[in-house]
Amino acid sequence: MSALSAYRYLRYFLAVVLIAAVPHKLLDPAGFALAIARYDLVPTAAVNAIALVLPWLEALLAILLVCDVLIGPALWLANLLFAGFATSIAIAMARGIDIDCGCFTTGTTGSMLFALVRDVIFLVAGIILALIYARVIAPSRAVTPAETSEESDPGESKPEDAPATAQDPEAPSAS
Amino acid sequence: MRSSSRTALCTLAIVATATLLALCFNQWRPTPLAWVRTEAFVPAPAPAPAQPSPQAPSTAAPETPTSPAAEAPTPAPAEDQTPPHAEPAPAMQSPAPMMENAPQTEPAEAQTTPEAPVSDASQQPQEAAQAAPPETPVAQETASAQAEEPAAALSVADALQLHLSGQAVFLDARDPDTYAQGHIPGALCVPPTELDRLWPQIAPHIEGKTVVTYCDGELCPLSEELAEALRARGVSTVLVFVNGWSLWQDEHLPTTTGLNP
């Protein structure tokens, strides 16, 4: 599989994953807030805000991934999200809290281990996508005239994307 | 502009857009969710079990609401996470503001046990509430609602009492792996999802006895789900030992490992 098609399919895959996680959170913010609270990780005051913003953030990221717009920041955020989810689930498991993961449905009590493994797979996919983007896609785009003409400073446009995209794969490992 | 700062800026822009969308959507909803949650999630069960411990533990949970209604002097903050041996009054006050503040979000959680398993459980506190008039009308409204909850919630002392008396059967609602790693002695492993399958085995054990369900964590829904499922099967006396496993361990009470006896 060429890097280009891998790039495309991974984008679609992550977009579908993100979109699939949206409806239940959007329709039942209170239930999702409770699911977050059960993790016992964030202060109670912040729970509602997270429950309200998270589904929209996921939806927005999915749209950006599908449309191939602002992929750098979108991947950065998506990987941060997946890493955050995986960490939360792992912490909950380590503390022996047996809860609904709140990932794709609310109210069901599935296996935490399954949720964790699933999330790590998403995270790995996100990291691979970020790597492909940083190594292959971004450099090829940096030299296209259409891109460079939009830059504020054409002289700086070429080395510009390299450090930015190099950050992407680092994001999950840092968090 | 440096590309790293541009990426950061775009990231912030995405988050800001999501926040804006969430803001609009939340306003548009019929019942908007408060952005900053001021009340705690745990309804009555967490503070309620604190009450009987200073008293003689021989009385069952239903007794607990009498004194708060009678005393009810000091208002307590809604988020009051009362330690187990705190003053009784604040411990019992905390559910009241919670009930009035979040009527549409949490009552489902708060009143998952509307039918008190012990028949006199809800009557007793209500009488007390009428006998000693509360200070505010709001308190009166919430008093009855508040009274129903602790009826099904157990303190450690009550749970231990029931355990020692042999009148109760403990059902562990957590998953079998966690159960095998440690559980209350004599407890049966019955995850809510497995109840249908396990029912023929556990039915003889719980016949004519009080059933106590527990899992781990104040917000763990499993024990409540199991209790509901048992009530649906016609088991009359089901008590929920909220946060049971943690509380049991905190008191250094005996535990067992291994699978179902």
| Tens digit of each residue's pLDDT (9 = 90 or more) over B11-50 | 999 999 999 999 999 989 888 888 888 776 654 333 333 3
Query: Which of these, B258, B228, B252, B256, lies nearest to B240 by C-alpha position?
Result: B228
Is A98's CB within 8 Å of B178's CB? yes
Res B247: pLDDT: 86
User: Could you tell me the sign of the dihedral formed by the alpha carbons of B193, B197, B201, B203, in that order?
Assistant: positive
What's the helix, strand, coil split of chain B in %, to 5? 50, 5, 45
- Structure-token pair, residue A15: 């977009």
| A48: nearest CB among B11, B33, B219 | B33
> Mean pLDDT over all residues of chain B?
66
Cβ contact B35–A48 (<8 Å): yes
The arithmetic mean of pLDDT across residues B101-111, rounded, is 40
Task: Report the range of poorest mean pLDDT among B11-20, B35-44, B153-162, B214-223.
Answer: B35-44
Alpha carbons B155 and B151: distance in angstroms, whole number = 11
pLDDT, tens digit (0-9, with 9 covering 90-100), for A99-125: 777 788 765 556 788 889 999 999 999
Please indicate whether residue B66 or residue A89 has the higher confidence score (pLDDT): A89
d(CA B239, CA B218): 15
More confident residue, B154 or B187: B187
Instruction: Calculate mean pLDDT across residues A114-143.
Output: 88
Token pair in block for residue B117? 């398993």
Going by pLDDT thresholds of 50, 70 and 90, the confidence category of residue A128 is: very high
Q: Among residues of chain B, what percentage have pLDDT more than 70?
A: 55
How high is the pLDDT of residue B177? Answer: 81
Q: From the list B7, B17, B193, which residue is nearest A60 (CB)?
A: B17
Residue B150 has pLDDT above 50, yes or no: no
Residues in chain B within 8 Å Cβ distance of A130: none
Residue (of B249, B216, B256, B248) closest to A96 by Cα position? B216
Q: Which two three-digit tokens encode residue B45?
A: 């069960």
Least confidently predicted of A142-146, A148-152, B154-158 = A148-152
What's the pLDDT tens digit per position in B131-140? 444 444 444 4
Q: Which residues lie closer than 8 Å to B198 by C-beta, 6 or more apart?
A: B188, B190
Mean pLDDT of chain A: 79
For chain A, the first-to-last Cα distance in angstroms comes to 30
| Reported confidence tier of residue B153, pLDDT bands at 50, 70, 90 | low
Q: Is the pLDDT of residue B208 over 70?
A: yes
Supply the pLDDT for residue A109.
Answer: 57
Contacts of A37 in chain B (CB under 8 A): 41, 219
Contact B113, B139 (CB under 8 A): no
Is the pLDDT reported for residue A97 higher than 80? no
Structure tokens at B9: 């800026």
Between B21 and A144, the higher pLDDT residue: B21
Q: DSSP label at B70? A: H
**Rounded Cα distance, B120 and A8, in Å:** 65
Region A54-63 average pLDDT: 94
Choose between A138 and B112: higher pLDDT.
Answer: A138
Question: What is the percent of chain B where pLDDT is above 90?
Answer: 7
Domain ranges (residues) in chain A: 3-144+155-174
What torsion do the CA atoms of B153, B238, B202, B168 make, to the nearest 10 degrees? Answer: 70
pLDDT above 70: residue B96: no
Q: How far is A174 from chain B (nearest CA, A)?
A: 15
Close Cβ partners of B252 (under 8 Å, ≥ 6 residues apart): none
Of residues B50, B254, B80, B68, the one with CA closest to residue B154: B50
Q: Tell me which of B19-23, B77-81, B187-191, B207-211 is least confident.
A: B77-81
DSSP characters over B84-103: TTS-HHHHHHTHHHHHHH-T
Is the distance from CB of B147 to CB of B129 less than 8 angstroms?
A: yes
Tell me if chain B has a CB within 8 Å of the CB of A61: yes
CB contact under 8 A, A167 and B215: no
